[in-house]
Amino acid sequence: MGRRYSSVAIALHWLVALLLIANLAIGIGHDWLKDSLAINAMPLHKSFGISILALSLLRLGWRLAHRPPPLPAGMSALTRRIAHATHMAFYGIMIAMPLSGWVFVSAGRYPLSWFGLVDLPKFAVEKGSGAVLFSRAAHELLGWMTVALVAAHVAAALYHHLLRRDDVLAAMLPRLRARRA
């Protein structure tokens, strides 16, 4: 087994990461975009969310079928458990957050369209129902949890690369080569 993720795993990681960060910015800043720049970014936010859901399911399937490279031998058992829990939290959020948004917008009058190319079916929910209210609150909470998780993930990657000087980051960056022992 190699010390790097596969090219497919790396491509999916960075594609989802870019979409996720852009979508967080749109979601958090949508009122400002609308009020200050007269831009309704919600159709893009919804399309990115559906893309994140599909790519995350693909990524999860790939991960289940392809083992990741081993963690550095010097990592403590606690650090390994934290790394595993963080990855599982990411998969859970990358699936749950788009689904909660999908439920929320299903009660609205506008179609749920993927980049204007395909209209997606809506969930059978009533506006003002408990499911819609819960999904809206969950969507917002998951968004802020994602911000915290992304910050922790980036900090951990930089910690491994700059302080521990191991190859954790090199395993996921396309052009960064592993250090020689």
CB 9 within 8 Å of CB 65: no
| Lookup: tokens for 106 | 């299903």
- Which long-range CB contacts under 8 A does 32-35 form with residues at least 24 apart? none
CA distance 67 to 65: 7
Tens-digit pLDDT profile for residues 84-109: 999 999 999 999 999 999 999 998 88
Q: Which of 34, 15, 11 is nearest to 23 (CA)?
A: 15
CA distance 125 to 147: 28
* Residue 91 CA, distance from chain mean position: 7
Confidence at residue 111, expressed as pLDDT on a 0 to 100 scale: 83
| Lookup: tokens for 35 | 């009020």
pTM of the prediction?
Answer: 0.89
Q: What are phi and psi of 162, to 5 degrees?
A: -90, -35
Say yes or no to pLDDT of 15 above 90: yes
Tens-digit pLDDT profile for residues 64-84: 999 999 888 888 999 999 999
CA distance from start to end of the chain = 17
Q: Can you name the residues that pair with 40 across neighbouring β-strands? A: none
Confidence class of residue 178 from pLDDT cuts 50, 70 and 90?
low
